[in-house]
Each structure stands twice: as C-alpha cells, then as structure tokens.
Amino acid sequence: MSVSGQKKAGAPDREPPIRRVVVVGGGTAGWLAACLIASRIDTECADPVTVTLIESPDVPTIGVGEGTWPTMRGTMEKIGLAEADFLAACSASFKQGTRFDGWANGEANDRYFHPFTAPYGADRDAVTRWASAPGTASFAASASAQPAICERNLAPRQRQMPDYAGALNYAYHLDAGKFAQLLARHGVERLGIRHIGDHVTAVERGGGRVINAVITRDTGRIEGDLFLDCTGAAAVLISGEFEVPLVDVGGILFNDRALAIQVPQGEDAPLASQTNATAHQAGWIWDIGLPARRGVGCVYSSRHIEEGQAREILDAYLAGTGGSGSANAQDARLLSFCSGYRERFWEGNCLAIGQSAGFLEPLEASAIVMVELGVEALLEDFPRDRAALAPRARRFNALMRYRWERIVEFLKLHYILSRRTEAYWRDHRDPETIPARLTELVELWRDRPPLAADFSAIDEVFPSASWQYVLYGMGFAPPPAPPMRHTSPGAVRALAAQRDQRERSLLASLPSNRAYFEALGTPPERQKVTAH
Amino acid sequence: MSSHAILTAEDHRDLRVRSEAAADLGDAVMGCLTFPDEFRRVQAEFPILFRLNPERDSFSALAMFGLEDGENLFLAEEGWTATYRPLALSIQPFLVGRNASGDGPGQVHIDMASPRIAKSDADGVRIFDEDGQPTPYLEQVASMLGELDEGYRASAAFFDALNRHQLLQPMAFEVPVEGGATNRLVGYHAIDEDRLRALDGAALGELHGAGHLMPIFMALASLGHLATLARRKVQRMDRG
C-alpha cells in the first residue's frame, strides 16, 4: 500500500500512473469487482484511484448461479455492508455446503454432504478416526457437525453473533439480480463509483497491447489506465479486442446446457441449509432454497440427451420435490454454455473478470468466488504505473490458470468415482477425459488421504478437506492404516469426543433457518453470546 | 413476578433460553452472591464484600460489579467483558428447588417469567434436544446449580468463624467523580486486616483446619479490585 502519492525527490520519471480503473459491464462480476476496488482505495493519497463502471442498458445481466463461497462474508465486510442489510436486500439464505444425491450409484440412499466446515482435527485425523470405526457414519458426518445441522435446516450462526461470524463456516444463496442492484447502489452512494449507463461501441488502442479508452454510444470517449472486462460471455475486450482464445474443457466436463426455473416456496416450508445437487442420467439438477422461492436447474450434456428429455427429467424432479403445482418444466429457460477459461486473463492493461474469463458448470458455485479471488489478486499487488503491468500480468495469469485447472479437476472428481452405468457416466470415467494430475492424485489417495500438501498454493479454492469430503462421499475406500504414526490414538479419540460435544452444543444453540429469517425484520439483540 | 416451575423434558422440550449477558436480561446488577469455594475465581477480577441481611443476624458474600444500584461495570454492549462470570449469574434463569421440608436432593427449577425465556425460535439455546435429553448447556447449568447449592450451604460455617473472630469490619469506599463529587460505596463489610494479623497460632490453626483461612485471604486480596471498579467507572464516564 502506498503511504503517499507524492514522488520522492530525485526519483526517476515514471511511466503514466494507474489511476483510472474502468469496469466495462455491470452484473454481479462488474459491480462486485468495482466495489472491492473502490472500497480499498487510499483516498488520502495525493492522486487517488477512481473507479468508473460502464453498464450497457441493452444487455440483460445473466445471474451466474446463486451460490457463493464463504469468502463472500469477508468480501461483504470489506465492502462495508451490514450482514442483515445484505441478507434482506438480496433475499439471501445461508449456504453451508452441498448435498449430493444419486451421484455414487443412483440408489435411494445414495447421498453425501460436502460441508464448508473442515473436518475436526488435522488433515489425516478425521480420516483415520472414520476409517477405524467402519460402518457407523458417513465420512462427512463423522468429520464435521455440519451435516447434522444441515439435515435439521438449522442456521450456521446465532443472531447475536457479530456480523459475518459463524458457529460453522458458511456462505450464501442469493438472488443474483438483487445482489447486483445492492452492490450498484452501495458502490455509487457509498464508495464513489462513477456509473455510466451506456453501450461500448469501440475500443481505442494505444501502443502495444494497451487500451487508451473505450468509445460509448452517448457518452463518447472514456479514458482509463486499467480496464476490467466484465462483459460476460461476450468478452468484449479480452476476446473481442485482444482475441485471447478460450481453453475448451468440454472434453473433461461434458455439460453444456441448463434449464433454469424458479419455484415459489411457502413461508412455512423448511428452508434448506445447503444446495442440493441431484444426479440424473446425463447431468444433475441444482436446487437452491431462498426464503421465498427455490431456484432449480437441470444441467445436462446435449451430446447425451435431447432438450425434451431434460425437460422431462426436470419435470419429474419438480414433481418429486413438491414443486410441480407451482412451476412447470416447460417454462424453464434454456441456457447454453461451454466450459472453458481464457489462455490469459490479463492482457496489457485489461483484466477479464467473471464469465469473460471463463465459465464452468455451477456444480461447486465457483463463478462468484473466482471474481473475488481475481480482484483480490489484483488488489494485493496493484500496479503503480504502466511499466508495472507486464510482470504482474504474467504472475496473475499463472495464478488464475492454476486455479481454473484445480477447479476443473475438482469438478471432474465428482464424476470419475461414480458407479452409475448410463452412457454419460461411463463416458466421464473414460481415462482419456481425466486430467493427468487428477489421475495421479487419485492413485496417491489409495494409500493416504488428500493432504494440505497436495494443494499448497495460497488461497486454494478447494482445500484438501473438500477433496476428502467428495472422495469419501463418493464411496472411495479409506486408506489402510499408515506405516507411520502421525497422531497418537489418544489424541484422535479426544478429538472425536470434542467433535461430538460440539455437535450437541450446536444442535442446541442454532436457530432454524426459517426462524432466523423471520426474525430478520426485527432488530437482533446486540449482546454477545457468552461461551458455555 | 417470578413463576417457578420444575424443569421437565415433557413441559420444556422446545424451550430456548438466552444465556448471553445483557442489561435487559437482568445482568445490570451491581453485584451478585458468591460463596467461599468460589472466592478464588471471583477474586481474580472482582472485589468481594460482605453484607448483613436485613435482620442483621447473618452475612452474605457478594462479588461486586459496580458502585451504585443497577450499575454493572463489566457489562458492555458487546456482552460480559470479564473473563469469569460468577455462578449466581451464569445459572439464570434456573434455580434449585426443594420439597416443602427443605431437605432431600435439589431439583432444577426454571423461572418462566424471566426475560431469558426466548420469545422467538431465532434466539437462545435449547435446553433439551429432540430426544428429550439435556443439552450440553443444561448439563453445565445443572452442574453449576449443584456447586452453587452446596457452596451456599457450606458458607454458614465460614460466617460463623468470621463472627467468632470478629474479622469483618464496616467499610466505605469513595470514588471522585465529575465536578468534585464523590461516589460512595457504603453499607458493606470487608475483612479486617489488622484483626487478621493479630490472630494467634491456635486461632489460625483452627481456621485453617476448617478450610476458612484460604477464602479469608482471597477476600482480602480481592479488595485491590475496588480500584478496578473505580477505573472502569471513570472510563465509562469519559466515554459519555
């Protein structure tokens, strides 16, 4: 962080400073990026950075999924929103993880959790403890209290807790349209973002791979030092202008269509604590509960089934989950997408953030977290002037590529351990479609659990705990007892006792989601909860 | 105003209790009862003073949180700011009940008129789980109630000994406040240090043998925290 914007006497003349950030595109990605940057600007310095957001009135925004990652709590806190205001404005609910139904073999009792709270105890302990007491609980239920909390539709926090603190790790489900509106309002009114409602018609290039300005239809020329391409799939700058190609991962992740629909939900219906992801013959169905409605979507591979079949699958799901009276699968909106990410995300003075950078099926809600992580990486090492761009671009591209690759592998993990027999699922297990690094890791995990050392980058999107939850949730055999002792058996037993006591305390102290959100209108008591 | 009921899983299965510290939950008090076995924990943070009951025939011990009625200098907007929260506060709204004869094992009672009875399912902690088993919170409360009950019963012998050796003396404590006025704490007793020093070996041996000597010294040492109260009082006034 710069302490002062003033040059030291005798410092050599620098290249033009990076002062004007121009975000092209509104929507979740654009507004989130703009707010994160604006909230971090040192306004005391001599020549503070400014943020301008150009939002086309012509382009409807696409709500990229409605699930966030737990990072969103820190993001909202940094931006300066009170949690209750955020929850109410976005019709949000708590997300404590994902429940996967029918993924391992498709039988009636085929179900596992991927909770956000890491296993109790270090890397190996939870696996050791679970493996040494066979036939009792699932791995997730043995490792964490969160599945039991989710099964009872309980909230992850008490109302009296400070904002964004939880008894368990949590994220949000939210109405993406309302979320973008909230960010826009907050960004303009509180964070000083300049908002221009106009359509970009042309790009004015400077020397090299540098954008000097974008030309808009009504406002004219808008200059900038750093441009963020948040134009979604259109990728106006990174693709339209710089022609950075997409790395297509459709050969690894086959899904390319989604049928999305909203299902009204009664005020007395239980409000789920997790996203439900239910596998079907050629894809899966998301089911996200908000206080007043559920968002449901059938994701599928158009190579394996027709749209009509997908509508039938969605229809059957709605009927089975009490939604057929209020929503009709024929009304579901069809979305097409291809899974992939840019070869480079930062080119010259332009960064692709959001869907312009890449898109993957929303299986683990990675879209919004990649916006947060991308912007954080930019802010962590914000370029001072144009000379500072190139080295940062190289580092940023390597970092983001690493993250996209890890996400692709993590999503693929959900498919390759399945024993389902349909063509789609068999195709997913074809070794030709599995990234080499993933094959190697799974081989490694026959002997030992996924460890933190397997995912050693800073800010890994999915830590080893997530890999453990999916791996063992899918029925992968736990490793045999290791030749080396890592934690004493007594310590492992003590951890198990602590975990059980913690689960009992949480079950007693957490309110139901419904009760929490019904009380949201009444001011929460601000007193701190004492430990007991 | 209170409405005491025997706690049962049948009657209170879904009851939620607010266990946090807050003024509107009854924690805006200048002190609470304590007993010799708790002195070690109390003296680390609060002064321990003694008061005659209205009939002037027996003493009780108090952990002090403030200098005037309704003032709790350890209670802030964010909750309890001390490390230790004395048992007499922690067990609210539960109490020990006994049958009419007053003997036999104590039962856990609950004051259903307490503001701690949660009015919304969004607040508080359950005391029974879905199977009707006590939750960890209730287990802890029951254990605290047991300790409190035993502690009060055992304190009679302690006060007898203090009386016998005339170890309590009336005290006053003054804190200068705004505009030259003083805030005066009166009507309390404290350990008489001079008389304690003057006790002979036989008397000390007797007190020690009965386990009273340690709590006497704890209570004496706790008087240093009168300055803690004064400091917190001044800080609170400075913040407006």
Q: Which residues of A touch B79 (CB under 8 A)?
A: 527-530
The answer to whether A150 and A271 have CB atoms below 8 angstroms apart is no
Task: Give residue A109's pLDDT.
Answer: 92
pLDDT digits (tens, 9 = 90+) for A417-458: 999 999 999 999 999 999 999 999 999 999 999 998 998 887
The mean per-residue pLDDT over the stretch B118-132 comes to 90
Distance from CA of B14 to the nearest CA of A (A): 10
Task: State how far the Cα of A315 lies from the Cα of A332, in Å rounded to an integer.
Answer: 10
The mean per-residue pLDDT over the stretch A497-502 comes to 86
Task: State how far the Cα of B36 lies from the Cα of B222, in Å rounded to an integer.
Answer: 13
Find where tokens 């089975």 sit. Answer: A320
Chain A: residue whose CA lies nearest to B137: A532
CB contact under 8 Å between A508 and B129, yes or no, is: yes
Q: Are strands A50-55 and A194-197 parallel, antiparallel or unpaired?
A: parallel
CB contact under 8 Å between B127 and A508, yes or no, is: yes
Q: Which residues of A touch B18 (CB under 8 A)?
A: 525
Q: What is the ipTM of this complex?
A: 0.72
Distance from CA of A532 to the nearest CA of B (A): 6
Instruction: Give the closest residue to B42 by CA, choosing from B71, B3, B85, B11.
Output: B85
Task: Give residue A411's pLDDT.
Answer: 97
Find where tokens 């509180």 sit. Answer: A190
The answer to whether A264 and A292 have CB atoms below 8 angstroms apart is yes
Distance from CA of A290 to the nearest CA of B (A): 17
Instruction: Look at residue A360 and tell me whether its pLDDT is greater than 60.
Output: yes
Assigned token pair, A59: 């382009």
DSSP characters over A268-301: TS---SSEEEEEETTEEEEEEE-SSEEEEEEEE-
Buried b (16+ CB within 10 A) or exposed e, B167-205: bbeebebebeeeeeeebebeebbbbbeeebeebeeebee
Spell out the residues 6+ positions from residue B127 whose beta carbon is closer than 8 angstroms to its own: A508, B7, B12, B15, B16, B17, B134, B135, B137, B138, B141
A335: number of CA atoms within 13 Å, CB side? Answer: 22
Q: Does B79 touch chain A (CB under 8 A)?
A: yes
Task: State how far the Cα of A424 lies from the Cα of A337, in Å rounded to an integer.
Answer: 18
Instruction: Look at residue A380 and tell me whether its pLDDT is greater than 90.
Output: yes
Distance from CA of A512 to the nearest CA of B (A): 7
CB contact under 8 Å between A528 and B25, yes or no, is: no
Q: Which residue has the higher pLDDT, B181 or A12?
A: B181
- Residue A271: pLDDT band with limits 50, 70, 90: very high
> Which of B121, B135, B136 lies closest to A515 in CB terms?
B121
What is the identity of the amino acid at A471?
A: L
The answer to whether A104 and A474 have CB atoms below 8 angstroms apart is yes
- The torsion defined by the Cα of A152, A155, A156 and A160, in degrees rounded to 10, comes to -140
- Burial of residue B81 (CB within 10 Å: 0-12, 13-18, 19+) is middle
Q: Which helix (H) or strand (E) holds A336?
A: strand A333-336
What is the identity of the amino acid at B50?
A: F
- Residue A195: pLDDT band with limits 50, 70, 90: very high
Distance from CA of A508 to the nearest CA of B (A): 4
Assigned token pair, B230: 């004064």
Q: Does B121 touch chain A (CB under 8 A)?
A: yes
Spell out the residues 6+ positions from residue B238 whose beta carbon is closer than 8 angstroms to its own: none
CB contact under 8 Å between B80 and A158, yes or no, is: no
Task: State how far the Cα of A204 lies from the Cα of A222, in Å rounded to an integer.
Answer: 10
Q: Does B19 touch chain A (CB under 8 A)?
A: yes
CB atoms within 10 A of CB A478: 18
pLDDT digits (tens, 9 = 90+) for A36-50: 999 999 999 889 999
CB contact under 8 Å between B136 and A505, yes or no, is: yes
- Sign, CA torsion A137/A139/A141/A147: negative
> Which of B80, B122, B137 lies closest to A508 in CB terms?
B137
Instruction: Give the closest residue to A40 by CA, choosing from A4, A89, A1, A88.
Output: A1
Percent of chain A with pLDDT over 90: 73
A345 phi/psi in degrees, rounded to 5:
-110, -20
Mean per-residue pLDDT over chain B, rounded: 90
Mutate to test the interface with A, among B15, B20, B85, B90 (most CBs of A within 10 A): B20
The answer to whether A429 and A442 have CB atoms below 8 angstroms apart is no
What is the identity of the amino acid at B21?
A: A
Q: Does B145 touch chain A (CB under 8 A)?
A: no
- Residue A377: pLDDT band with limits 50, 70, 90: very high
Percent of chain A with pLDDT over 70: 93
Mean per-residue pLDDT over chain A, rounded: 90
Q: Are strands A275-280 and A97-101 parallel, antiparallel or unpaired?
A: parallel
- Residue A529: pLDDT band with limits 50, 70, 90: very low
Instruction: Look at residue A99 and tell me whether its pLDDT is greater than 80.
Output: yes
